[in-house]
Structure 1
């Protein structure tokens, strides 16, 4: 399994051979193979035959989430149709009943901003071109499209609008273009800086995309120089903006775009200034904090289990833990995280070393759960779909192998990490047999 859970861009800072090795490095799974025995009384059966039956079954779970400021809906793989579908249904309930107005994807801020503009338009013919341009391929599927279409329909008939946002900072071009467009009539200095940022983020994106083509030499010095220049340009723009007064409508968009670019180029700032790797998890936590800065703001996060978990399951990240751990510190008692998992079926994945908007997704079979894993134990429970409140599990505080599949096809023994469920999630939703997400 590709190690996509720490910082994707950091891998690209290495030499080409080292980057490939980094991308394939995985930790050793737990050696405890004793079968976990589950008490049937803690299993909450879920009916997925329709939205309304599902809504009724998860009512107690929704009540636990409803008063939180940040609710994270995790995914045990980046390509399972049921994980997208059921998270959409949970998102819909939280938006309709509990006052949540934002859903934030593990995707770049500027790109999601462009999609969000379409979700507020009077008419919407086809989202596919925008999804393919602005979403990583893990989100380019029919299941995500269904949620986005629902959001647009909701916005056309409700005064209280719902928003799509991004909390990642892998790509910066859309944010830079947003700044160039929004600040086109500002001072000559600001206009020039936004034009520089478009050039710098475009080059950065091209270098990143080229990493998937082994015939193209990896130009590390060029990437480092451009990345540092981009960081300095962003800082200069941030200082210049302090001298101008923007219309209220523009302030939030500009502030979000600037912050996302500062975090995008943090990958180059940290190694040069602080001699350490940039933490992608802290980046996503900072963008989440930006989204809920307003009074009464609440957000639903869609990201991988490994990010939203309170205890980062991947060894080696010495930057403070996963996104979930950062958010728990930022919002004590106001953070709820739901993990998702499965046992068998198929999963959509790509063979690309680094995920992009153009990474091809195809269906692959999931390997059978390994002995002693949480997935093996859940697979033996009678309901095909259910959720558990992790603190009610007798073995929840003990570390057992837990499968975390990224965007690669690999789902065997190297995809497991020793994890105590009660330290990672508030609840876990399990679907015994799942199918690959349907590409657009």
Structure 2
């Protein structure tokens, strides 16, 4: 599994070693997992009909009933590139929005970049979304399956008073957030204008550093990168203080607050090692952004992110940042967090060979390796329904710690992609699709 962005960066920051020297594979799972054949009572297997949205809606009503009263519902993915995971999560999202009062869907994508796309979803005529998707979404979201959901959201907004919103919970890039602040604060004070200009420069520089990590011929200038990152953090702090006495309109205030939070998270990678002598936790920051999205009374959100993030338990051995985003969200919203994981056994997956995922990372189709013996995936593929979900609290004695596959944005799906899981510790429910296909690039 490709390491998450913070691990690569933190290693460079804290050790001074060149980023290019760091491997992208997470440590192999310990051998202590149970590999005995799994036997499940048929009553825990809930078959799902995926032939049409309407048949699907009927089949998942018991699952929707569990989700409807939660403040945060996370829809996970066992890979970043399976078409069926995008399609079925879209259908679940549509049901929750149409029937259960959810108005926000938040992607594992930079907050301010989703804000740009969301603006388009509220316009009278949206036209072709592809250029905006290619500019503002990581390449894992640049597929026809995601485009279908975004087009549905726009159509919904044109015919309903209650609008639906696209959000982002990540802070991987900063330029768009800085540009949003520059636009929103253009008519304030010379000091604020100067600070937003500085932030645009710092974020443009730093975003380029991240994308250049994919080109081994470009040298990694650590001292320069560190100086720029810290300067960006200081400029963000100064801007926030300068805004204390500025009165913003009701429309400006939430936009500015979100863009500022995006930049705080973006530069946290530099703040934590320098000030607190510790690594920045991307999972805790994504949870904090999720809390920001549901700060208003009655607001609810659907989160789309990798299983490794939405899981309630530590996904990768050696990760000392407190566990997945789901673990933080459970602490923030006790009893108000529901997480559905999803996994597959065979098929193809869209992935990139880039070391650092960006909107420019090319995606291609790769075959999934056969599940390892004794894994959850190997056991579940032997059950009769091709697509089904199960409630993990019904597994009881069958819920032993066994290998569970987590495929990131890279093409690797072999034995090093498995980690020992008791499903009930990670998810409320698990959606299984026996054979999946690679997501379709735009």
Q: Which residue number corresponds to residue 2 of structure 1?
A: 2
Count of matched residue pairs: 440
Ranges in structure 1 where 5+ consecutive residues have no aligned partner: none
Counterpart secondary structure, 1:303: strand
Cα 1:17–1:240 shift into 2, 3 Å: closer
Q: Is the 8 A contact 2:338 2:428 kept in 1?
A: yes
Shift, 1:19, TM fit: 5.0
Displacement of 1:2: 1.9
**The residue matched to 2:341 in structure 1 has which SS?**
strand
User: Residue by residue, what CA displacement relative to the aligned partner does 1:66-120 show, whole Å, maximum 9, x if unpaired?
Assistant: 0000000000000000000000000000000110000000000110000000000
Residues 346, 365 of structure 1: 8 Å contact kept = yes
Query: Which residue pairs with 2:169 in the alignment?
Result: 167
Give the Cα separation in 2 of the matches to 1:155 and 1:42. Answer: 38
Structure 2 CA distance for partners of 1:5 and 1:58, relative to 1, 3 Å: farther
The equivalent of 1:227 in structure 2 is: 229
Match of 1:349 in 2: 351
1:195 aligns with 2:197: yes
> Quick check: 272-281 or 6-15, which moved more?
6-15
Larger displacement relative to structure 2 (396-405 or 344-353): 396-405
Q: Distance in 2 between matches of 1:88 and 1:149?
A: 11
| Cα distance change, pair 360–126 in 1 and its aligned pair in 2 (3 A) | same
- Cα distance in 2, alignment partners of residues 286 and 7 from structure 1: 19
- Go from structure 1 to structure 2 and tell me whether the alpha carbon gap of 1:129 and 1:424 turns closer, same or farther (over 3 Å shift): same
Check 1:293–1:7 CA distance in 2 against 1; reply closer, same or farther (3 A cut): farther
Q: Distance in 2 between matches of 1:8 and 1:133?
A: 23
Q: How far did residue 252 of structure 1 move? A: 0.2
| Distance in 2 separating the partners of 1:191 and 1:10 | 31
Q: Distance in 2 between matches of 1:120 and 1:12?
A: 41
Match of 2:373 among 359, 371, 374: 371
Measure how far apart 1:399 and its partner are: 1.0
Q: Which moved more, 1:96-105 or 1:220-229?
A: 220-229
Equivalent residue, structure 1, for 2:291: 289
Instruction: Find the counterpart in structure 2 of residue 62 from structure 1.
Output: 64
Distance in 2 of aligned mates of 1:82 and 1:393: 24
Secondary structure, in 3 states, of the residue corresponding to 1:204?
helix
Contact in 1 for aligned 2:144/2:441 (Cα 8 Å): yes
CA distance in 2, matches of 1:182, 1:372: 55
**TM-score, normalised with respect to structure 1:** 0.98
Task: Supply the distance in 2 between the matched residues of 1:104 and 1:8 (Cα, whole angstroms).
Answer: 24
Conservation of the 8 A alpha-carbon contact between 1:30 and 1:417: no
**Structure 2: segments with no counterpart, 5+ residues:** none
Corresponding residue of 2:309: 307
Q: Residues 18 and 185 from structure 1, CA distance in 2 versus in 1: closer, same or farther, beyond 3 angstroms?
A: closer
Q: Is 1:21 aligned to 2:22, yes or no?
A: yes
Which stretch of structure 1 is more off in the superposition, 215-224 or 88-97?
215-224
Q: How does 1:10-89 map to 2 (within 5 A)?
A: 10-11=10-11, 13=13, 15=16, 17=18, 20-31=21-32, 32-89=34-91
1:27-426 equivalences in 2 (<5 Å)? 27-31=28-32, 32-395=34-397, 397-426=399-428
Conserved 8 A contact 1:3-1:26: no
Distance 1:39 1:241 in 2: 60
TM-score under structure 2 length normalisation: 0.97
What is the CA RMSD across the aligned residues, in angstroms? 1.3
- SS of 1:197's partner is helix
Q: Does the CA-based 8 Å contact 1:11-1:23 persist in structure 2?
A: no
Tell me if the contact between 2:351 and 2:364 (Cα under 8 Å) persists in the aligned partners. yes
